[in-house]
Amino acid sequence: MAAAATMQASFVSDRLISFKKSTAGELFGLKTVKFSSEMGGLRRPSQRKNITLASSQATEPLLQNTLKRAVAKRAVELVKPGMVIGLGTGSTASLAIEELGKLIQQGKLKDVVGVGTSYQSRVLARQFGVKTVDLNDVIHIDIAFDGADEVDPSMNILKGGGAAHTMGKVIDTMAKKSVILVDQSKVVFELGQIFPVPVEVLPPAISPVLRQLVALGGVPEIRSALRKDGPVITDFGNMVVDVSFPEGIKDPAALEKRIKLIPGVVENGLVTGVASSVLVATQDGDDITIVELDEFVKSLKSVKEAYSKA
Ligand SMILES: O=C[C@H](O)[C@H](O)[C@H](O)COP(=O)(O)O
Question: Looking at 13-17, 148-152, 216-220, 225-229, which range is the least confident one?
Answer: 13-17
Please tell me the distance between residue 229's alpha carbon and the centre of ligand 1 in angstroms. Answer: 23
**Sheet order of strands, 277-284 included:** 113-116, 84-87, 141-146, 175-183, 277-284, 287-292
Question: Looking at 17-21, 138-142, 259-263, which range is the least confident one?
Answer: 17-21
Counting residues of the chain whose pLDDT is more than 70, the rounded percentage is: 80
d(CA 30, CA 36): 9
CATH 3.40.50.1360 fits 68-187+273-295, yes or no: yes
pLDDT at 12 over 50: no
Nearest-atom number in ligand 1 for the CA of 160 is 1
Q: Which of 32, 20, 16 is nearest to 91 (CA)?
A: 16
CA nearest ligand 1 atom 10, residue:
90
pLDDT at 60 over 80: no
196 lines ligand 1 (CB under 6 A): no
pLDDT in the model for residue 44: 25
Q: Which residues contact 169 (CB under 8 A, 6 or more apart)?
A: 159, 267, 271, 274
**How much is the ipTM here?**
0.98
92 lines ligand 1 (CB under 6 A): yes
Please tell me the distance between residue 146's alpha carbon and the centre of ligand 1 in angstroms. Answer: 7
Give the residue-averaged pLDDT of 145-168.
Answer: 98
pLDDT in the model for residue 62: 78
CA distance readout (Å), 75 to 11, 127, 232: 27, 19, 30
CA nearest ligand 1 atom 6, residue:
147
